[in-house]
Amino acid sequence: MQLLLFCCFIKCGILYNGMIYNYLSFYDMKTMRFLKGSMMAAIVAIATICTPAVAENSADLQQRTNRDAQGKIVRGPYQTNKFFDNFFISVDGGINFYSNFDKAPGSLGRQIQPSLDVNVGKWFSPSFGLRLGYSGLYGSNWSSTDAGFVTDEVDGSFRQRFGLAYVHGDVMWNISNTIAGYNAKRVWNFVPFLSAGWAHSYGVGDNNAFGNELAVGVGLLNEIRVAKRVNLTLELKHMFVSDRLSMHRSGIGGWSSATFGVSVDLGKVGFERSSASDSQLDKRIKELESANNELASSNRTLESNNKKLEDSNKALTSDNAQLKTANGALESANKQLASAPKEVNNAPKTIVKNEPIIKNVDLTPCAVFFEIGQVELSNKELTHLDYYMKNVNADQVFTLIGVADNQTGYPQRNQQLMVQRTEYVRNLLITKYNISSDHIVVKSVSSDDVMFSDPELNRAVIIKGGSKN
């Protein structure tokens, strides 16, 4: 394992140096050899430092933390982290190389400039992250014309040196976690990324020239774990930008850099894998709780509806009982009224010549009946009263006797109803039938006195007619 990882480091160095060789083959070989030697020395040093730790820890830890009992990689799902979890800040230093398509002769070594990277980012999942960063310091280039940031002339070529700042946002993909599964203790992670942002160039010293351009880039970040919150970083990237940034009129410029530094994790570090069984169980529990709540709500609605139905049934039963009682009272009154004409017709008739005929039903008593709790007569009872008054002598003295049902209600209320009913009939005789108030006598009785055995018939006013004394 140690040999394999060592070879990987070396291969990265060879590829990067090969890229520089192909891109800069037109420059002097001495400077190019110096650059390649420096880069290879740095890569070998990093590989020598890091591969023992990889050999010691990676095989055991990776097998223990992201594989199941059958040795298969466990890939998630992972719990969503909080906003301030898995933040990081990194600072890197190294070298950069700025070039364009203007192949003016000049020393390659004088195009290599110091570079500084400062980044702040956050991992949203084991494989996906974003960061915001600054890259730059100085850039240098050769030009065939005297323009922009020229500082000196060497053998007909003009050297440019300028300040350089690239503020960018990066989309990062941890390909190690994607392919091999998440492992918080993995020693080495490969993270390719895409970047886009704003590039600014400015003159050095008394040179006031400047340029602003949009830029895009690609790169590879190598994270080497040394502690829970500390990682060494080796970053290789290239930025593509319009050559107007270096005061050339047209073309595409390029800015390659290699930096090495340290990254520190902030907040809660790492991701916790969600248990599928726990997740399914929680989901099932929530479904059952929701079903129970719906069932309880339905039961409450049914209970409320049942109570309303019971109340309605009780009200209907009470109404039916009252109607039955009223019908019985009406039937009894109808029977009494039906017998009254027979008694009148069967009574002996006395005719006195030259004297007015006196109707002989004037002494027949009459009873009018009230609904329970009412102090006014129904239309039917008003008809009975009208029939009676049209067949009696208005000169009689009418005695009104009010009675009440002592089987229901309180005595005080029954006494009140009795008085109100008697007064109601008295007013009818005066206003409707023109009976003089002197011919009406109201007889007071107790609410406990009854006229009939049936309580419903005692809700009445008895009218008795008699001659004047």
What is the token pair recorded at 344? Answer: 């009148």
**In terms of Cα–Cα distance, which of 142, 363, 369, 362 is closest to 243?**
142
Judged against a pLDDT cut of 70, whether residue 301 lies above it is answered with yes
Please state, in angstroms and rounded to a whole number, the distance separating the CA atoms of residues 97 and 99. Answer: 7
Q: Give the residue from 128, 123, 132, 127 showing the smallest Cα distance to 83.
A: 123
To 5 degrees, how large is the angle CA 318–CA 320–CA 321?
Answer: 65
Q: 26-35, 195-204, 326-335 — which is least confidently predicted?
A: 26-35
According to DSSP, residue 347 is labeled S
Helix (H, G, I), strand (E, B) or coil at 6: helix
pLDDT per residue over 447-463, tens digit each? 677 778 888 888 899 99
Stronger pLDDT, 285 or 171, i.e. the higher one = 171
**How far, rounded to the nearest angstrom, does the alpha carbon of residue 149 sit from its chain's CA centroid?**
58
pLDDT for 8 beyond 70: no
Place of tokens 């100085």: 138
d(CA 148, CA 142): 11
Task: Give me the mean pLDDT over the 31-57 stretch.
Answer: 47
Position 167 pLDDT exceeds 90:
yes
> Per-residue pLDDT tens for 351-368?
544 444 444 444 578 899
The residue whose two tokens read 């020393």 is 107
Backbone angles phi, psi at 195, to 5 degrees: -135, 155
- CA separation for the pair 124, 357 (Å, rounded): 118
* DSSP state for residue 338 in the 8-state scheme: H
How far apart are alpha carbons 233 and 258 in whole angstroms? Answer: 11
CA 422 to chain centre: 70
> Quick one: which of 63, 45, 73 has its CA closest to 1?
63
Is the bond preceding residue 77 a cis peptide, omega within 30 degrees?
Answer: yes
Could you give the domains of the chain?
74-272 (2.40.160.20), 341-466 (3.30.1330.60)
Q: Which of 1-15, 97-111, 270-284, 350-364 has the highest mean pLDDT?
A: 270-284
Average pLDDT over residues 119-143: 89
- Kindly state the tokens that stand for 343: 């008694």
pTM of the model: 0.47
Reduced to 3 states, what is the DSSP secondary structure of residue 192?
strand
User: 170: which strand partners?
Assistant: 131, 195
**In which band, very low, low, confident or very high, does the pLDDT at 49 lie, cut at 50, 70 and 90?**
very low
pLDDT-derived band at 338 (thresholds 50, 70, 90) equals confident
Q: Which of 233, 254, 240 is nearest to 191 (CA)?
A: 233
- Segment 93-108 shows an average pLDDT of 70
d(CA 24, CA 18): 10
Q: Which of 7-21, 159-173, 192-206 has the lowest mean pLDDT?
A: 7-21
pLDDT of residue 59: 39
Average pLDDT over residues 164-191: 92
- At 244 the pLDDT is 78
With residue 35 as reference, give the H or E element that holds it. Answer: helix 29-65
Looking at residue 278, its pLDDT comes to: 56
Q: For residue 191, with 0-12 CB atoms within 10 Å meaning exposed, 13-18 middle and 19 or more buried, which class applies? A: buried
Alpha-carbon torsion, ordered 345, 351, 355, 359, to 10 deg: -10
pLDDT above 70 covers a percentage of the chain that reads 70
pLDDT, mean of residues 389-402? 86
Give the integer Cα–Cα distance in Å for 437 and 353. 32
Q: Could you check whether the bond before residue 365 is cis, i.e. omega within 30 degrees of 0?
A: no
What three-state secondary structure class fits 275?
Answer: coil
Q: For the packed helices 379-389 and 411-431, what is the interaxial angle rounded to 10 degrees?
A: 50
Helix (H) or strand (E) holding 163: strand 157-173
DSSP 82: P
Question: Mean pLDDT in the chain?
Answer: 78
pLDDT given at position 236 = 95
pLDDT digits (tens, 9 = 90+) for 249-298: 667 778 899 999 999 999 888 888 776 555 566 778 889 999 999 999 99
The answer to whether residue 406 scores a pLDDT higher than 90 is no
Contact 225, 188 (CB under 8 A): yes
Residue 13 above 80 pLDDT? no
Residue 423 has pLDDT above 80, yes or no: yes
Q: Which residue has the tokens 């140096």?
A: 17
Q: What residues pair up with 218 in beta bridges, in sequence order? A: 194, 238
Ranked by mean pLDDT, which of 52-56, 210-214, 331-335, 447-451 comes out on top?
A: 210-214
State residue 178 phi and psi, 5-degree precision: -65, -45
Q: How far apart are CA 350 and CA 363, in angstroms?
A: 15
What are the φ/ψ torsions at residue 280 (nearest 5 degrees)? Answer: -65, -40
According to the model, what pLDDT value does residue 363 have?
59
CA 8, CA 177: separation in Å to the nearest integer?
18
By DSSP bridging, strand 230-242 and strand 210-225 are: antiparallel
pLDDT at residue 254, as a whole number = 81
| Angle ∠(246,250,256) on CA atoms, nearest 5 | 50
Of 459, 468, 397, 466, residue with least CA distance to 424: 459
Q: Which of 318, 317, 320, 323 is nearest to 456 (CA)?
A: 323
